[in-house]
Structure 1
Amino acid sequence: MNRLPYRLLQGAIAGTAATVAMTATARQLARRLPARDRYPLPPREIIGALRGEGRSVADPGRDEAGLANATLIAHALFGAATGALFALQQRRGAGTGAAYGVTVWTASYFGWVPASGLLKPAHRHPLRRNLLMIAAHLVWGGTLALGLRQIEGSVAGELRRGTEALPDLH
């Protein structure tokens, strides 16, 4: 039986869950930035750029809820896709996951994002914002690796055997 589709699906699920942890981390850290550095975080900036909006565009008719939802969906899908790729690696511990998270940040914010013209490269953003993004990607990668391990363990164990193997939670 070809296990590749299952491995990719497990990685996508773990990547999506890790994106939730990453988003919570980024939101908390963004509150600590100096006021001048508190402009929208990159996922929102990217979706805004794709919609033809600049960061400084003030449009009272803009659908902020729609933009926020599009950002959330796009960010979760990107987390799922990169999580699926991580699941293909042989070494997948928390340290490897954290390093993978920083690699995704580097490839994105020094690579394809500025090359596409969506945002300026990371070195042209404030240092504190870059540190925030690196920390969020460390959390994402570590959570991805740990989540994937849990999913794989559940599939190999409790979910395969059935409910009789689940511990009593009372």
Structure 2
Amino acid sequence: MLRQAAAGAAAGVLATLTMSAVMVAGRRTGLMNEHPPKNIVRAMLPGSKHRPKPGENMLAALAHLGFGAAAGATFGAVAGRHRTSAPAGAGYGLAIWLTSYQGWLPGLDILPPISQDRPGRPAVMAAGHVVYGLTLARALRRLAP
């Protein structure tokens, strides 16, 4: 199980990078403003959660990769090579999105719930999480022992 978790973590980093490409595209098209990882890091650092802070860009990138690796490790440990189908990956990505954007992010008052968010961001983030899950499943099929 440890090898499967390690493979999942590596797959999770790769999946986070592909998801980040979707987020960049969403920002460039004007569908969303700042990336949610930056909002999360900004809220967790001392001071106003609405004001930029030194080092937040690097911390946001590291936090996003770390979260993606942890989620990938969890998926890898539970699923291994056996249940890493595209639908399982997409469903896992959407489950992360719903848990985060309807759960702990609004609960900590970092971002609004999906129904109250600015137009565009929920669609970009849902698509990004589907891409994360699809990439995670495919990479894990290739990496898992």
Report if TM-score (shorter chain) is over 0.5: yes
For 2:30 and 2:42, the matched residues in 1 are separated by: 21
Asked if the contact 2:10–2:69 (Cα under 8 Å) also holds between the matched residues in 1, the reply is: yes
Q: Which has the higher contact order (CA 8 A, sep 6+)?
A: 2
1:84, distance to aligned residue in structure 2 (A) = 1.0
* Equivalent residue, structure 1, for 2:9: 12
1:73 maps onto 2:70 in alignment = no
* Equivalent residue, structure 1, for 2:27: 30
Letter in 1 for 2:68: G
Which stretches in structure 1 are left out of the alignment for 5+ residues? 156-170
Q: What is the total number of aligned residue pairs between the two structures?
A: 141
C-alpha deviations, 1:111-144, integer Å up to 9, x for none?
Answer: 1122223222222112311000001111100000
1:43 maps onto 2:40 in alignment = no
Q: Which structure has the greater CA radius of gyration?
A: 1
Structure 2 counterpart SS, 1:127: coil
C-alpha deviations, 1:88-124, integer Å up to 9, x for none?
Answer: 1252111210111011000011011222232222221
* Equivalent residue, structure 2, for 1:112: 104
Q: TM-score, normalised by structure 1?
A: 0.77
For 1:142 and 1:49, the matched residues in 2 are separated by: 29
For 2:89 and 2:7, the matched residues in 1 are separated by: 15
C-alpha deviations, 1:24-69, integer Å up to 9, x for none?
Answer: 11101221125xxx421211101111113333x3x6xx42xx1111
* Equivalent residue, structure 1, for 2:49: 54
Structure 1 counterpart SS, 2:112: coil
Letter in 2 for 1:8: A
Equivalence map 1:72-111=2 (5 Å): 72-87=61-76, 88-89=78-79, 90-111=82-103
1:14, distance to aligned residue in structure 2 (A) = 0.3
Letter in 2 for 1:83: G
Q: TM-score, normalised by structure 2?
A: 0.89
Moved over 6 A (4+): none
Equivalence map 1:141-152=2 (5 Å): 141-152=133-144
1:151, distance to aligned residue in structure 2 (A) = 0.7
